[in-house]
Amino acid sequence: MTRKFAMITVVLILAVTIVIVSCAPKAEPVAPADFYKGKTIDFVIPHSPGGINDSIAHTIASYLSRDTGATVVVTNREGASGLEGINYLYKAKPDGLTLGVTTLSVFVPNKVLNEPAAMYEIENFSYIMSIGYRLQHFIVSSEGPYQSVADLQAAKDLKIGGSSPSGAMALGGFTITRLLGLDAKVVTGFKAETDRALAVKRGEIIGYVTTIPGAKASLDAGMVKPMFVLATERDPLAPDVPAITELVNLTGEDLDLVKLWETAFASSNLFVASPGIPEDRLAFLRDLANQWVQDEGFREEINVISGHEVQDREYISGEEVTKAMLDTAASLGRFQAIFAELIEKYRA
């Protein structure tokens, strides 16, 4: 009897507990603005300290701290040409507390080359904003023997400089060799702008691919000059420099390659979060980014870092960036095959 009574008592207690729990008021979801207050944001920069990309990232981190009430801890994870930082961002806990800034011209080429160490998919990141739009130019000696496309096409055994084998500079060299039909190979290992410019001046390489801001010091010193921009239209930053399509007639796959360079391979700064963060937190961060774009102080800081006035069209919303990345991801297979062939033929 006692045992039976004990069992009944346990059942009653469990029943009462269930009723109490079910009737208890449920916790309200925390609004993103409140979620970030007092938290710590791990802010990753997959580049070495210094330079345009790092400075823009630090500016974003400063405004992020101001407007969220969070402590923003900035870390440069530049290993493996930026792959260490990008992979870290991709694999981070999707709570919106791991954010970072990378560049389009690093982010996409790794996937175009099907780099095995690139453990991310570009279509999966949570995109908050993109800043800047810097086209890639072919830079040559100001006084060297190669002053025109015709000079290049008439020469033999040329060498074009690159940084890392999977970087935009090397891919640019492969692309130009194909488009112009050059007798050339791409040599990598020229890490700094001064190294590349001096190599051109000494005649070790005929040129390299980079942006106008990226080559600014060498251009200002008169060591090098842009021969053409790798695009279908001229660059507003260098309106006197012709587009490659003005110098050679390109159609079909060759023209598609040039269009790839003026979209997915242009240099811009991508403000991203790890994949899968809550939609309300992503929307909150995008709203903050949109507010910064309207902030004169923020715009002026970006202009000073960039060395020119960044236009409205260069501030791209997270929604627009997401669409562009989905489109790029859909075409990756085709361009992977093209570049695999170019690397086989033109890598030194």
Assess whether pLDDT exceeds 60 at residue 22: no
Condensed to tens digits (0 to 9), the pLDDT of residues 194-228 reads 999 999 999 999 999 999 999 999 999 999 999 99
Q: Which of 110, 128, 133 is nearest to 321 (CA)?
A: 128
Would you state the pLDDT for residue 200? 96
Contact 290, 318 (CB under 8 A): no
C-alpha–C-alpha distance, residues 286 and 128, integer Å: 5
Q: How many angstroms separate the Cα of 81 from the Cα of each of 24, 121, 263, 306?
A: 53, 17, 21, 22
Question: Among residues 191, 188, 189, 185, which one has the least CA distance to residue 214?
Answer: 191
Between 174 and 17, residue with greater pLDDT: 174
Average pLDDT, the chain: 90
Q: Going from the N-terminus, what domains does the chain have, and what CATH number goes with each? A: 40-133+267-337 (3.40.190.150), 136-261 (3.40.190.10)
SS3 122: coil
* Residue 264 near residue 104, CB atoms below 8 Å: yes
Share of the chain above pLDDT 90, in %: 74
Determine the Cα–Cα distance for residues 135 and 210; give it in Å rounded to an integer. Answer: 8
Q: Determine contact, residues 47/167, Cβ cutoff 8 Å.
A: no
Q: What is the mean predicted confidence (pLDDT) over 188-198?
A: 91
- Rounded to two decimals, the pTM is 0.85
Q: What is the mean pLDDT of residues 279-300?
A: 97
